């Protein structure tokens, strides 16, 4: 076992010998990188030990295939999980730096859009904490999700450039490259089918170790970068065509250049399909190679390999694994299909019809001719086994990736109880009838190390003082806090932790131009901007109470700070109008002397993981107000409840389970339920009816129409008053009512704090450790390997 020098010496050594800096000239980034290298060194041994243990015990491994890993910053996670926080702090004080500043210097790795990518990151951390042997496989995007700023209240996107600085966490693996082909021809050589691609790129591996709690185990996040097969066209260069000479390289690298900024689907984009196949094929080649280095019978693959598809983005894994097994390894086709299915499982994250991936046959045939044939074959097989089936994965001209993923998976899971039920009743009703044991539920979770321990040190210390540190990797121990909800000393300590977090956030917002009172209620809605998430319902209600406040400023209002955060897909015009409206309302309301002490609207730009870590611990009210039936789960909702924010929400996604667990009396419910939503849409003129019945709603819409907040919002008003597919008008009145209930509850601070404590105490079930145990038991069928 190598002996490491003290952390202090090691940081100095890295500063000097890895970064080539003298201490006197070192800046924050130099120190941060030196610390990162020193910390990374300390992950390497547990990382190797984990690999060796898996190998020695011939353990099964999970391969989590995801287009997105929204990991954010890694340094604090690693320092905390290795238990080095207290050792690191004084080292930086000695050189006149605060550890907070050093940690804060790290750029966010924003290799994801939102919930799905962040879930993948929480899962990696939980798998390491539990000692579940796992690899995350994804794409090493050169540019992650765009940076957002506002100009005149409108969203402007700038490219993200996280690799501009040295990236301290990864190990490049020059020896791990796979050649990935596209297009070309399929030939039948007397029963043996051979695919000869027309073009190829290389997938180059970069590994990042992900260490779990107490450093007991570490897994690998392996991200693929696209590289040209041939570096350079020397002939073209010599002929004087300097740009042309670099073209092959540019084309190849384009595949891993940038994350698609859509969180539904980008219609039929060729490059997107190339990205999907690129990382899926590289990962499968890696998986099969690793298996073959240990075993020689490929029919045993399902005993050693579990491959989880994070949505349909890697669904081409079905046909590709069949192709490897049948075409390359010579396995009988029917057996290959069965072996592949026993390895694969698929997580669905959405029921929105427009978000279900489909590719045109033409594109699929052109880019992946052999896979197209295999999809036809899989479809025929399925039809032969189920003659009464109506669904097909080859729908009207398109290849449907949902049905393909379902057919090629032995388990298919939803991400909350309600979502899973709706999967069975709607999009996958037919397939569920044919395969009644395939769909299972695994309600999402979040890692308590990042979302409570690190993000909210004040509350964490208080909890640890009260019940000891066992909760950190056994979150249900938070239940021990329940009786303390009635202890006034504890309640006061809990409230002062929240108050201090609010003061920090008030400073942050103040520095960015919005002055807020830390004693007002902090009401937060942070998530991607989407019609179904209904940020426009929230801002509409904000306008309505502002109008009421102006009418009667002395009516005993509960002062509020309405905080919004989130990005819109660059091409999503309606979502961008919502952003513009929120900023326009903020401009008018914040400047209004009548309501100055009662209402503020803040919209800090560029919402990301790091900003979430700042906002959630300071939140008192969590807005989870999607149209019922549309939010698959939500995970922000869990982070808020855990950190003691009360939820105002609809019965949607995991809100249902949150309410069940924290208690209906500690949750502000409003709105139609999923079946009512469907019925309501059938009522002609439902929006008009709702508007006519609620003068407040009418007045708020009129204020927008008549230019109180400027112009350019006609689209929003007409959408809400006419089609109103997401039922903003129909849910407005009940939302407004529930908000007044919130006001009344807040007035009784003692009881509010009691409710907040009960939210924390009863949210332990939402740990992603619990979720991963569920996957291991029901989906992956495997055991943990970590020694205590």
Instruction: Let me know: does 294 contact 602? Beta carbons within 8 Å.
Output: no
We find the least distance from the C-beta atom of residue 738 to ligand 26Q, in angstroms, to be 21
Give the DSSP letter string of 295-340: -S-GGGHHHHEEEEEESSTTTTHHHHHHHIIIIIT---HHHHHHHH
**Contact between 263 and ligand 26Q per CB under 6 A:** yes
From 18-26, 96-104, 136-144, 256-264, span contacting ligand 26Q (CB under 6 A)? 256-264
Cβ neighbours around 72 below 10 Å, total: 23
C-alpha span between 666 and 663 (Å, rounded): 5
Half-sphere exposure for 48 (CA within 13 Å, toward CB): 7
Considering the complex, what minimum distance in angstroms separates the CB of residue 471 from ligand 26Q?
A: 23
Could you tell me the smallest distance in angstroms from the CB atom of residue 62 to ligand 26Q?
Answer: 17
Q: Does residue 655 touch ligand 26Q according to CB under 6 A?
A: no
Distance in angstroms (rounded) separating the CA atoms of residues 252 and 719: 43
Q: Which is nearer to ligand 26Q, 444 or 583 (CB)?
A: 444
- Closest by CA position to 509, among listed 391, 614, 352, 610: 614
What is the residue whose two structure tokens read 């080095």?
84
Asked if 264 interacts with ligand 26Q (CB under 6 A), we say yes
Q: Smallest distance from the beta carbon of 477 to ligand 26Q, in angstroms?
A: 25
In the complex, least distance from residue 142 CB atom to ligand 26Q, rounded to whole angstroms:
17
The distance of closest approach from Cβ of residue 121 to ligand 26Q in the complex, given in angstroms and rounded to an integer, is: 11
Nearer to ligand 26Q, 283 or 443 (CB): 443
| Dihedral of alpha carbons 738, 742, 521, 529, sign | negative
Q: How far is the CB of 231 from ligand 26Q (least distance, A)?
A: 30
Instruction: Based on the residue annotation, tell me whether 576 is a catalytic residue of this protein.
Output: no
Binding to ligand 26Q by CB under 6 A, coded x per residue (else -) over 403-422, reads: ------------x-------
Is residue 407 among the annotated active site residues?
Answer: no
Nearer to ligand 26Q, 415 or 439 (CB): 415
CA–CA separation, 663 and 543 (whole Å)? 30
Contact mark string toward ligand 26Q, 443..472, x via CB under 6 A: -x----------------------------
Active-site hit among 220, 350, 635, 650: 635
Determine how many CB atoms are found less than 10 A away from the CB of residue 770. Answer: 17
The single residue listed with the structure tokens 């050169």 is: 142
Beta partners for residue 53, in sequence order: none
Annotated active-site residue in 61, 313, 528, 680: 528
Q: Which is nearer to ligand 26Q, 322 or 356 (CB)?
A: 356
Catalytic annotation on 269? no
For residues 384 to 403, the per-residue mask of contacts with ligand 26Q, x marking binding by CB under 6 A and - elsewhere, is --------------------
Query: What distance in Å separates the CA atoms of residue 383 and residue 406, rounded to the nearest whole number?
Result: 14
Give buried/exposed letters for 129-153 (b at 16+ CB in 10 A, else e).
bbbbbbbbbbbbbbbbbbbbebeeb
What residues from 318 to 357 belong to the interface with ligand 26Q (CB under 6 A)?
A: 349-350, 355, 357
**Token pair of 446 as six digits:** 């979040």
Pairing of strands 621-624, 646-649: parallel
381 contributes a contact to ligand 26Q by CB under 6 A: no
Q: Is 635 a catalytic residue?
A: yes
Residue 536 annotated among the catalytic residues of the structure: no
Catalytic residue among 341, 349, 680, 736: 349
Least distance (Å) between residue 403 CB and ligand 26Q: 16
- Residues within window 676-705 making contact with ligand 26Q, judged by CB under 6 A: none
Question: 639 an active-site residue?
Answer: yes
**Which range, of 257-265, 449-457, 461-469, 661-669, touches ligand 26Q by CB under 6 A?**
257-265
Q: Which is nearer to ligand 26Q, 178 or 528 (CB)?
A: 528
Q: Cα torsion at 309, 315, 320, 321 (round to 10°)? A: 30
User: Of the residues 639, 659, 736, 754, which is catalytic?
Assistant: 639
Which range touches ligand 26Q (CB under 6 A), out of 255-263, 300-308, 655-663, 711-719? 255-263
- Give the three-class secondary structure for 47: helix
Contacts of ligand 26Q in 528-557 (CB under 6 A): none
Query: How many whole angstroms separate alpha carbon 439 and alpha carbon 453?
Result: 34
- The Cα–Cα gap between 281 and 328 comes to 13
Contact range with ligand 26Q by CB under 6 A, out of 99-107, 221-229, 261-269, 369-377: 261-269
Candidate list 322, 340, 589, 632; residue touching ligand 26Q; CB under 6 A: 632
Position of minimal CB gap to ligand 26Q: 115
Which of 61, 382, 527, 762 is flagged as catalytic?
Answer: 527
Q: Does 635 bind ligand 26Q (CB under 6 A)?
A: yes
Q: Does 634 bind ligand 26Q (CB under 6 A)?
A: yes
Q: Least CB distance from residue 444 to ligand 26Q, whole Å?
A: 5
Which listed residue (266, 476, 587, 778) binds ligand 26Q by CB under 6 A?
Answer: 266
Of 178, 533, 567, 659, catalytic: 533
Q: Is 525 helix (H, G, I), strand (E, B) or coil?
A: strand
Of 228, 318, 653, 671, which lies in the binding site for ligand 26Q, with binding defined by CB under 6 A?
653
- Examine residue 50 and tell whether it contacts ligand 26Q (CB under 6 A): no
3-class state of residue 142 by DSSP: coil
Which residues ranging from 104 to 123 are in contact with ligand 26Q (CB under 6 A)? 113-116, 119
Interface size with ligand 26Q, residues (CB under 6 A): 24
Q: In angstroms, how far is CA 539 from the centroid of its own chain? A: 24
User: Three-state SS for 649?
Assistant: strand
- Residue 448's alpha-carbon distances to 229, 634, 760, in angstroms, are 43, 16, 12
Q: Is 314 in the site for ligand 26Q (CB under 6 A)?
A: no
Q: Does 567 bind ligand 26Q (CB under 6 A)?
A: no
DSSP secondary structure code for residue 146 in this structure = P
How far CA 626 is from CA of 532, 534, 537, 651, 677, in Å, comes to: 5, 6, 9, 9, 11
Cα dist from 493 to 448, 460, 496, 565, 750, whole Å: 21, 12, 5, 28, 12
**Whole-number Å distance between alpha carbons of 268 and 255:** 15
Q: At what angle do helices 417-425 and 655-662 cross, to 10 degrees?
A: 140
Residues acting as catalytic residues:
349, 527-528, 533, 635, 639
Return residues touching ligand 26Q (CB under 6 A).
113-116, 119, 260, 262-266, 272, 349-350, 355, 357, 415, 444, 631-635, 653
């Amino acid at each position: 076992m190598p002996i490491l020098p003290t952390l202090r010496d090691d940081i100095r050594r890295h500063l000097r010998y890895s970064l080539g800096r003298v201490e006197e000239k070192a800046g924050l980034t130099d120190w941060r990188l030196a610390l990162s290298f020193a910390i990374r060194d300390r992950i390497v041994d547990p990382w190797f030990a984990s690999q060796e243990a898996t190998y020695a015990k011939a353990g099964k491994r999970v391969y989590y295939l995801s287009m997105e890993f929204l990991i954010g910053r890694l340094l604090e996670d690693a320092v905390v999980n290795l238990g080095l926080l207290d050792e690191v702090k004084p080292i930086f004080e000695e050189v006149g730096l605060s550890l907070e500043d050093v940690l804060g210097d790290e750029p966010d790795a924003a290799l994801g859009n939102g919930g799905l990518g962040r879930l993948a990151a929480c899962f990696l951390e939980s798998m390491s904490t539990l000692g579940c042997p796992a690899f995350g496989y994804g794409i090493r995007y050169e540019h992650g999700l765009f940076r957002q700023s506002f100009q005149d209240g409108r969203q402007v996107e700038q490219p993200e450039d996280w690799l501009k600085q040295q990236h301290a966490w990864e190990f490049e693996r020059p020896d791990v490259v796979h050649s990935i082909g596209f297009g070309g021809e399929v030939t039948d050589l007397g029963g043996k089918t051979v695919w000869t691609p027309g073009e190829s790129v290389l997938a180059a591996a970069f590994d990042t170790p992900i260490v779990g709690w107490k450093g007991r185990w570490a897994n690998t996040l392996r991200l693929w970068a696209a590289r040209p097969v041939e570096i350079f066209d020397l002939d073209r260069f010599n002929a004087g065509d300097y740009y042309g000479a670099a073209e092959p390289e540019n084309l190849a690298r384009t595949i891993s250049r940038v994350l698609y900024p859509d969180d539904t689907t980008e219609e039929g984009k060729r490059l997107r399909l190339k990205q999907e196949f690129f990382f899926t094929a590289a990962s499968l080649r890696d998986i099969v190679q690793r298996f073959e280095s240990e075993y020689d019978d490929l029919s045993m693959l399902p005993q050693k390999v579990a491959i989880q598809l994070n949505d349909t983005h890697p669904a081409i894994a079905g046909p590709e694994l069949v192709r490897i097994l049948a075409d390359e390894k010579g396995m009988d086709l029917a057996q290959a299909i069965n072996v592949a299915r026993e390895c694969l499982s698929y997580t669905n994250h959405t029921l929105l019809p427009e978000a279900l991936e489909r590719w045109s046959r033409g594109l699929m045939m052109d880019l992946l001719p052999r896979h197209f044939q295999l999809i036809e074959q899989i479809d025929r097989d399925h039809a032969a086994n189920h003659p009464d089936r109506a669904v097909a994965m080859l729908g009207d001209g398109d290849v449907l990736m949902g049905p393909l993923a379902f057919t090629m998976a032995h388990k298919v899971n939803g991400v909350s109880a309600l979502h899973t039920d709706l999967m069975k009743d709607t999009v996958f009703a037919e397939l569920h009838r044919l395969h009644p044991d395939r769909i299972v539920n695994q309600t999402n979770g979040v890692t308590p190390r990042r979302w409570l321990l690190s993000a909210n040190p004040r509350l964490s210390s208080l909890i640890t003082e009260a019940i000891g540190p066992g909760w950190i990797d056994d979150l249900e121990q938070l239940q021990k806090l329940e009786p303390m909800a009635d202890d006034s000393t504890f309640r006061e300590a809990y409230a002062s932790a929240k108050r201090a977090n609010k003061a920090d956030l008030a400073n942050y917002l103040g520095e960015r131009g919005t002055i807020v009172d830390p004693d007002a209620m902090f009401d937060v809605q942070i998530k991607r901007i989407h019609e179904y998430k209904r940020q426009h319902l929230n801002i509409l209600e904000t306008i309505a109470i502002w109008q009421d406040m102006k009418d009667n400023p002395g009516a005993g209002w509960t002062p509020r700070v309405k905080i919004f955060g989130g990005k819109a897909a660059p091409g999503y015009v309606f979502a961008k109008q919502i952003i513009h409206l929120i900023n326009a309302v903020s401009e008018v309301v914040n400047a209004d002397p009548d309501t100055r002490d009662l209402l503020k609207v803040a919209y800090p730009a560029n919402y990301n993981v790091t900003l979430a870590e700042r906002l959630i611990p300071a939140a008192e009210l969590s807005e989870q107000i999607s149209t019922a039936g549309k939010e698959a789960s939500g995970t922000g909702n869990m982070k808020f409840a855990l950190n003691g924010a009360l939820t105002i929400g609809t019965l949607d996604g995991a809100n249902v389970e949150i309410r069940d667990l924290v208690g209906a009396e500690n949750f502000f419910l409003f709105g139609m339920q999923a079946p009512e939503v469907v019925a309501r849409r059938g009522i002609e003129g439902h929006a008009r009816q709702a508007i006519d019945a609620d003068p407040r709603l009418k007045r708020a819409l009129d204020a927008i129409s008549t230019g109180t907040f400027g112009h350019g919002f006609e689209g929003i008003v007409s959408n809400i008053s006419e089609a109103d597919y997401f039922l903003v008008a129909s849910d407005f009145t009940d939302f407004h009512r529930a908000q007044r209930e919130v006001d009344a509850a807040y007035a009784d601070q003692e009881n509010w704090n009691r409710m907040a404590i009960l939210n924390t105490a009863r949210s332990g079930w939402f740990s992603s450790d619990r979720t991963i145990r569920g996957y291991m038991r029901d989906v992956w069928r495997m055991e943990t390997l970590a020694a205590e």
